[in-house]
Chain A
Amino acid sequence: MAEDTATTEAPAEEETDEEVAAPEPDPARDAALAMLTELLGDAIVESHIEPGRDLWVRVQRDAWVESIQTARDSLRCYWIDFLSAIDWMPSPYGREMEAEQDWIIHGRDIKETPAMESGVAGGETRFQVFARVYSIENNLGITFKADLPDDDLRIETLLRTYAGINWHEREAWEMFGIHFDGHPDLRALYLPSGFEGNPMRKDFPLLARRVKPWPGIVDVEQMPEVESPGDDAPSEEGGEA
């Protein structure tokens, strides 16, 4: 039971890579995941191991503090790396191709918003909080993730587990609008106090890009058209101009 989530997930990911990298075992991360699965049980929704690199564990929102505390106590993850959030909604502005310059290159229909995708270890909702803790003794990092329902962007604070999470949570609060229950001091960290909106959300427009076309985009897209030898330029770029 311990490793079923990992073993079903990992081969599906590795299948596409070359065979050399695929069968590489990772006993340390397997053991860590097995231990977490044993201690947390159903709280773990999904997990993923990238052999030799990283371990992701997605937990239920209610078990957020408990799981990270378990990792700290049982796996000796005393070092807090960071906490932040991801907004999985595809940006309605694309890469802000509002300017005429961008229309010339891409045409007007580029702004079809694709469906929402989620990343490693999955995700069902728009906002996902993730935090990374690290065990210096075992030299092992674990990235925890938790989904937040759209209508209730709250999660319990980790302050009682790591005092150093304070600023990280304040940043996530102001940048994504995620409320951390039990945090005594949710004030703006970077933004001026009267600021409205949550800048890191995907539907928050990047104003600089809207008022002025960005010259950099020309370098990116037009170069293969100017000097295309045909062999090294990816084929999908040709159809757009």
Chain B
Amino acid sequence: MPVSPPIVAALSGASRRYGPSIALDGVDLAVRRGELLALLGPNGAGKSTAIALCLGLLAPDAGEARLFGQPPRELAPRRRVGVMLQQAGIPDALQVRELLAQTRACYPAPRSAEECVRLAGLEGLEKRRYGRLSGGQQRRVQFALAICGNPELLFLDEPTTGLDVGARESLWLTIRAMVAGGCAVVLTTHYLEEAEALADRVVVLARGRIVASGSVAQIRSRVVQRRIRCITALDPACIGAWPEVRSVCRDGERLDIVTDEAEAVVRQLLFEDAALTELEVRRAGLAEAFAEITREAA
């Protein structure tokens, strides 16, 4: 039997309130070495609170948080962690190389400044002040600061917000390379295709509780719906009346049909319209699954 990799960060029965509202309600979470865990959920679901507890930025009201088996407020476990928060607040007046030097000095075995610059795609910007960088460049500086300590565990809170497609994909490559090298990553994102592209495991939070957890394929298969697209002369209102069909909508010349029983619907479509063309059947993506799961939880 394969031994599962050691746990690098864990919440057990962790709860946290802000005044009367519960941000996190008895959450159990374990992040293992070398895995990329995507933490998904609508705004206010508790993703940032979960990360804040793991990092010791907040103390849990109940339950506990552990980083490398130790309390997260200890210095030693945090020396093995890199962080990219949603709101960075980096002082505008400081240069990229100054920020790197300052942050690298906190870690026992940091990456070289050159490597950080290369991995984050900041070549030629070392002497630029942070405030004079574009939004995407600033985000890349934050990523460079997160990886500069050569971390074994990386928290990335919405890392690619504000990046263009090219920059996002090069960041994905770097993240994948780090995971391949044994680094664990906890990622929160609004882009479900990002979780789909990167994550080994997905945890969905809603209202402070874990409502789904598993591989991307497992999460997707929780949703039985499939989507059928085709060009047909049939009346959408008629198709909508079939018992297996959940919804029909017209998208240009195509019809878009959502159903739990794709085979039955396709058979009926071909039977009623022999001239039907451009038939496509697609399983629900993570986005549809996510919408379904969080709707159920609400």
A and B from one complex: no
Residues of B whose CB lies within 8 Å of any CB of A are none
